[in-house]
Amino acid sequence: MTARVIMVQGTASSAGKSILVTALCRIFRQDGYRVAPFKAQNMALNSYVSADGGELGRSQAVQAEAAGAEMTVHMNPILLKPETDARCQVVLLGRPFKTLSAGEYYDFKDQLWPVVQGSLARLRSQYDVVVIEGAGSPAEVNLKDNDIVNMRVARAADAPVLLVADIDRGGVFASLVGTLDLLEPAERLLVKALVVNKFRGDVELLKPGLDFLRERTGVPVAGVIPYVRDLGVADEDSVSLESREWQGAPPAKVAIGLVRLPHIANFDDFDPLRAEPEVELRLVERPAQLAGVDLIILPGSKTTVGDLQHLRRSGLGAAVVAANQRGVPVLGICGGYQMLGRRLLDPLGIESADPVSDGLDLLPVDTTFAPAKATQRVKARVLASPGLFSLAEGAAVEGYEIHMGQSLVDGRAALRVSECGGVEVSAEDGAVSADGLVAGTYVHGLFDRPGLRRRLLAWLAERKGERLGESAPAFDRQRAYDRLADVVRVSLDMRLIYGLVGLEAGR
């Protein structure tokens, strides 16, 4: 069969497209339909790995998980990973394809349209419903000629479009009316309903504005979705960092400083730490913000060398080293792990023009960049070591790797990997310093399971004479998806939504 489709487009980036698609995927699944997400082109540094080792946007992986569907690169056939303001790595059907400037990619996009069509057709042959997500705004007049992600997809799939706008940022009426006004007549006809997102306050006070939208545009308003705090759903890109609440509920027993890198990647690694009620997770952008932290984390990065240079220029690199010399533990994940080593070698110019870059020299590790990218899911256990992981020996870790470069470790490893890409192995990952106060790993998802997370937090608390109380409720994304679906189901006119899709509500 050919799946029914519905598309979510936004008046701007971060209007809530990804979250609404996640919610609709969950609702359709709850109502008994086989559902899959689709986004033709995604620009994000948060990514994930499919079972066969392909790389796709983190938001599509989240949406697939909410839908109960096995994630596949066809849900996001084109992934753009920015390396500078005007250059990105193009990941095509899960594999690195080319690194292109913005102008080069713009000229190349039309050649990718058959890939988009093929992936969408494949999904539609396998599912009952495909929920399609647009990107940015469909009214970017300078980009419309080479559009392969917004209205061109909607027209090709004959998809009814929900147009969503973020009222929390202001200007919601102008953004909805203006977007519709800038669309071509045939495109405007595809917009079947409007959605107001992230509303705070009394919805009764909004009703005159909703009446205005209906009268001014002739398009029904499907509903108003409230602003929901701490959804527990992984975000698509670092724009969301600006609106997050980072301070833990006082008094926190453990303070963790997460260093914000210019090209921070896969920062949802730390959502389980944010969910801990006795933990303050502090986003660090200046050296002074490291004062009083019990642990410093260097996260993943798309451009390790460039972000390492930022650490040096900003003084954060020296501050991290000085803090560690005072006894503050440091943990690096993926690119952050590479930065903690002695040297980063780049003889082929993969990351930068410098063949050799000095790391922070906190771990006995040398990393060499090469064209091949490691993308695989892994299972591992924590190895015995002093310091950071001293209470966590044997704790299970299940996550994924996405990185360029291989690291040579002259010392103790952090993890013993037992499965890689679905194949049983026996390999070591990461490194731990001799005193145990610095550790690094390539594995994302390190804190998803409570074993390692709680034992690490307990060790940090004990060092300062504290004792952790009861843990937070288990970090459960499935429960978060259900909560999100509940909010959206009561906020939108689901009879209207199902009517647009051409299906009965539940079966």
Kindly report, residue by residue over 202-221, the tens digit of the pLDDT.
888 899 999 999 999 999 99
Other C-beta atoms closer than 10 Å to the C-beta of 245 total: 10
Residue 283 has pLDDT above 90, yes or no: yes
- For residue 247 the two structure tokens come to 């301070």
Give the per-residue pLDDT at 241.
Answer: 52
Q: In the predicted model, what is the mean pLDDT of residues 464-491? A: 85
Residue 500 has pLDDT above 70, yes or no: yes
Q: In the predicted model, what is the mean pLDDT of residues 74-81? A: 95
Q: Confidence class of residue 246 from pLDDT cuts 50, 70 and 90? A: very low
| Percent over 70 (pLDDT), the chain | 94
Active-site pick, 263, 310, 403, 444? 444
- For residue 379 the two structure tokens come to 């299972």
Kindly report, residue by residue over 13-53, the tens digit of the pLDDT.
889 999 999 999 999 999 999 999 999 999 988 889 998 89
C-alpha distances out from residue 485 to 44, 160, 227, 240, Å: 24, 20, 14, 20
Domains and CATH numbers, the chain: 4-232+479-501 (3.40.50.300), 254-463 (3.40.50.880)
Q: How many CA atoms lie within 13 A of 96 on its CB side?
A: 18
Active-site pick, 263, 334, 403, 420? 334
Residue with tokens 């979705």: 225
Average confidence score pLDDT of the chain: 91
- For residue 192 the two structure tokens come to 């079947």
Q: In the predicted model, what is the mean pLDDT of residues 484-489? A: 95
Where would I find the beta strands (DSSP E) of 364-475? 365-382, 396-409, 415-420, 423-429, 431-432, 438-441
Kindly report, residue by residue over 452-473, the tens digit of the pLDDT.
999 999 999 999 999 988 765 5
Displacement of CA 438 from its chain's centroid (Å): 26
Give the per-residue pLDDT at 238.
Answer: 47
Kindly report, residue by residue over 394-444, the tens digit of the pLDDT.
999 999 999 988 999 999 999 999 999 889 999 999 999 999 999 999 999
The sign one gets for the Cα dihedral 22, 28, 30, 35 is negative
125/429 Cα distance (integer angstroms) = 40
Other C-beta atoms closer than 10 Å to the C-beta of 475 total: 20
Q: Confidence class of residue 155 from pLDDT cuts 50, 70 and 90? A: very high
Give the per-residue pLDDT at 252.
Answer: 85
Is 361 in contact with 342 (CB distance < 8 Å)? yes
Give the per-residue pLDDT at 7.
Answer: 98
Q: Confidence class of residue 250 from pLDDT cuts 50, 70 and 90? A: low
User: Is 403 known to be catalytic?
Assistant: no
Residue 248 has pLDDT above 50, yes or no: no
Residue 82 has pLDDT above 90, yes or no: no
C-alpha distances out from residue 13 to 9, 134, 140, 164, Å: 10, 10, 11, 10
Q: In the predicted model, what is the mean pLDDT of residues 326-334? A: 97
The sign one gets for the Cα dihedral 45, 48, 50, 54 is positive
Kindly report, residue by residue over 67-77, the tens digit of the pLDDT.
999 999 999 99
Displacement of CA 26 from its chain's centroid (Å): 18
User: Is 444 known to be catalytic?
Assistant: yes
Q: Confidence class of residue 475 from pLDDT cuts 50, 70 and 90? A: low
Rounded to the nearest 5°, which phi and psi values hold at 88? -145, 155
- For residue 220 the two structure tokens come to 């029904």
85/285 Cα distance (integer angstroms) = 19
